[in-house]
Amino acid sequence: MMGITSVFAKASNEEDAIVRHYAKFMNVSDSMLHIPELYITIHEWIGTPYRYGRSDKKGTDCSGFVRNVFLSLCGEKLPRSASDMSKVIQSKPKEELTEGDLIFFNFRGRSNSHVGIYLQKGWFVHASIYRGVTLNNLHTPYYTRYFSKGGSLKQGELKDLMPQPLKACEEIPPVNPLTPIHINYINSPPPTPTLNLKQ
């Protein structure tokens, strides 16, 4: 998997507010939302009506929505149908699902006929036939009944957007918020400059 070597500048106040909104909605701390770009992207789609066979913001089906999110965030061109998407994931138990995983449901007697993107604490985003792009929870009886499988993409995972663990240091040094934070240190980071109060 391709890793990322830096974290981009801090999001705008509006983007921060969007991330906080979804954290509050799912009853988790902001720090648990490891891919803020995911929430900013799905926020642009929330409320888009369901339209079978379409994949734009005037109307989309479930696979069209998921495909657009992955294409926008990491350039990953997923198969067009939910059934075909289910063939390119590494399955994992429901309790091990993590942010950015794909989840599938068997609706109307068809295997893996519906797809969504897992978020946190059972919450996932998908294009619902009746409500359009919205959030629901796997722990509700309806979705528990029809849940089929879930897992990470075998290649090019959305989680490639997440910062990788620091090497040879314990903390990221304080930096200007507008400066990218480089996290691929080989040696320990440079010491934090001290303020000289002498005139």
Per-residue pLDDT tens over the stretch 44-88: 999 999 999 999 999 999 999 999 999 999 888 899 999 999 999
> Is 126 part of a structural domain of the chain?
yes
Q: How many domains does the chain have?
A: 1
Query: Would you say residue 31 lies in a domain?
Result: yes
* Other beta carbons less than 10 A from residue 93's beta carbon: 9
Question: Quick one: average pLDDT of 28-43?
Answer: 94
Q: Structure pTM? A: 0.74
- Closest by CA position to 125, among listed 20, 31, 42, 35: 42
Q: Does residue 70 form part of some domain?
A: yes
| 77 located within any domain | yes
Residue 124 domain-assigned (yes or no): yes
Q: How large a percentage of the chain has pLDDT more than 90?
A: 66
- The C-alpha atoms of residue 90 and residue 29 are separated, in whole angstroms, by 28
To 5 degrees, how large is the angle CA 109–CA 110–CA 114? 120
Domain enclosing residue 156, as ranges: 11-161
Beta strands in 82-192 (DSSP E): 89-91, 102-107, 110-118, 123-128, 132-137, 147-153, 181-182
Average pLDDT over residues 6-18: 66
CATH number at residue 133: 3.90.1720.10
Task: Please report whether residue 109 resides in a domain.
Answer: yes
- The whole-chain average pLDDT of the chain stands at 79
Positions marked active-site? 62, 114, 126
Query: Is residue 199 in a domain?
Result: no
pLDDT of residue 79: 94
